[in-house]
Amino acid sequence: MSDFNHTLAFSVPFETARQAQIAQRALDPDPILKPSELSVEYSTEDTFLKIDFKGRSDRVIRVAANNVLENLKTVVECMDEFEGQKDVCI
Amino acid sequence: MPATRDLIPYAEYSSPDLSKKLTVDATLTHSTNGKTTGPSDHVLGAGAVDNDKPSEAKSSRLGALRGMLTTLQDDVNEFLTQRMKDADAAHTRAEEEADLERRVLDDGVDEDDED
């Protein structure tokens, strides 16, 4: 939208392109609470995850970016803990 | 810079009046315990226990990335909070100036007062 004149673009490198794609697919389904005030787009470029926020104000971008980063940290932690491990039935 | 700290995130902000790049210093160690996330010091001081406290970063590349993302999140939060405060202050100032101008131009006379 044209009045979304505040933007914040994150560039987050991963070890592999696959990790960046997993992060994108994990974050993308989260619905945007105020689509009339904000848009969020996820994409990948090689090993980089790109997150683009466009919004009407600093306030809506701050709330959304903080939430997405909180989720992203959980995604990274899960990869760090579990990637490369075989499933174990207990 | 340690070899595990080579995954360095950054953010680029832009608005009609400002563009800014927010980066993380990879030569420093970054905690996963953010300044702008989790319970406030006031709540913790009152005896609350933070059950959602993040685990420490592992000494891996992704562990270092998680620490740097926490610092970037803090920086973005502080930067945007300051921008919001500045905008609020500018708005208040503009209203006060408009009010002063109106009172000066009206010379203190209320237009509705016709006696």
Can you give the pLDDT at residue B110? 59
Residue from A74, A38, A9, A48 nearest B76 by CA:
A9
Tell me the count of A-B CB pairs closer than 8 A: 86
Can you give the pLDDT at residue B102? 84
The answer to whether A27 and A79 have CB atoms below 8 angstroms apart is: no
d(CA A20, CA A45): 8
The answer to whether A27 and A72 have CB atoms below 8 angstroms apart is: yes
Mind telling me how many Å the CA of A34 is from chain B's nearest CA? 18
The pLDDT tens digits of the residues spanning B87-107 come to 889 888 888 888 888 888 877
Query: Cα torsion for A8, A23, A13, B8, to the nearest 10°?
Result: 70
Six-digit token pair at B73?
Answer: 């999140």
Element holding B88 (H helix, E strand): helix B61-105
Can you give the pLDDT at residue B90? 87
> What domains are defined for chain A?
6-71 (3.30.310.50)
Q: Which residue of B has its CA nearest to A80?
A: B62
Site from B21, B32, B37, B76 to mutate, A interface, most A CB atoms within 10 angstroms: B76
d(CA A23, CA A79): 9
Site from A2, A4, A8 to mutate, B interface, most B CB atoms within 10 angstroms: A8
Residue from A66, A64, A7 nearest B73 by CA:
A66
- E strands, A25-71, where? 38-45, 48-55
In this structure, the number of other CB atoms found within 10 A of the CB of residue B103 comes to 11
d(CA A55, CA B80): 13
C-alpha angle A84-A78-B60 in degrees, rounded to nearest 5: 70
Query: pLDDT digit of tens for each residue in chain A (90 aa)?
Result: 568 999 999 999 999 999 999 999 999 998 888 889 999 999 999 999 999 999 999 999 999 999 999 999 999 999 999 887 777 776
